[in-house]
């Protein structure tokens, strides 16, 4: 493969990551490039691997998802070589991100993972993140890997409902009847 083409794919990946304020998954980065038919899957993976090796992007694996973020060195590299990405490709990226930003953010901001803490006990960590902060973070202990896996699988679809329930439960003030009942006991 020509090194110029591989360099362009690396710059495209850096540009995509620079345009969002949250990490993107391998699938999200790959899907954009594959949809536009810029190159094939194996070339994308080679470009990502080389970006990681040269510390231009960071990767974090949570369960079966690998997430990528731009490093400071990646940002500097992109600033230096930005002109090598055509305006048409930049427009494609910006349009794609505008159209899919909410979906992309939702996919990577609702996280869950589990591990065995001791025999017959699994810790499940569920999070909803906004940028680099946790909106909610729950750690649950369950007796089986099956239950841990089920919780992880259901977290994305139920996280908003659970968050709302917790907030309402913790913020709700005592009703007048509850106050009167407490006053009667005093």
pLDDT higher than 60, residue 22: yes
Average pLDDT over residues 42-60: 95
Say yes or no to pLDDT of 35 above 80: yes
The string of pLDDT tens digits covering residues 57-108 is 999 887 777 889 999 999 999 999 999 999 999 999 999 999 988 788 777 7
- Within 14-170, strands assigned E span 24-25, 57-62, 65-70, 110-118, 121-130, 133-142
* Arithmetic mean of pLDDT, 162-178: 78
Residue in this structure with the two tokens 């400071």, named with its chain if needed: 72
Q: Taking 60 as the threshold, does the pLDDT of residue 175 lie above it?
A: no
Q: Provide mean pLDDT across the span 51-56.
A: 96
Contacts 24+ apart (CB under 8 A), 33-37: 33/9, 35/96, 36/92
pTM of the entire structure?
0.69
Instruction: Please check the confidence at residue 184 and state whether its pLDDT lies above 60.
Output: no
**Which of 45, 15, 35, 24 has the alpha carbon at shortest distance from 104?**
24
User: Six-digit token pair at 77?
Assistant: 């590299």
Structural element, H or E, at residue 89: helix 87-109
CA distance 101 to 56: 23
Percent of the chain whose pLDDT exceeds 70: 91
Diameter of the chain measured on Cα atoms: 83
């Amino acid at each position: 493969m020509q090194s110029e083409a591989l360099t362009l794919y690396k710059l495209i990946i850096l540009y995509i990551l620079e345009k969002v304020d949250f990490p993107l998954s391998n699938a999200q980065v790959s899907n954009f490039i594959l949809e536009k038919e810029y190159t094939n899957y194996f070339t994308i993976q080679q470009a990502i691997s080389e970006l990681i090796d040269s510390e231009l992007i960071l990767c974090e694996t949570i369960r079966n998802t690998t997430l990528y973020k731009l490093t400071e060195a990646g940002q500097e590299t992109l600033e230096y070589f930005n002109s090598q990405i055509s305006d048409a490709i930049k427009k494609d990226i910006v349009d794609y991100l505008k159209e899919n930003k909410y979906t992309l953010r939702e996919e990577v901001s609702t996280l869950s993972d589990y591990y065995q803490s001791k025999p017959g006990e699994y810790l499940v960590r569920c999070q909803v993140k906004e940028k680099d902060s946790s909106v909610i973070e729950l750690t649950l202990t369950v007796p089986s890997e099956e239950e841990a896996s089920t919780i992880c699988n259901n977290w994305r679809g139920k996280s908003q409902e659970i968050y709302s329930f917790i907030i309402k439960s913790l913020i709700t003030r005592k009703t007048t009847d509850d106050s009167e009942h407490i006053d009667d006991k005093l």
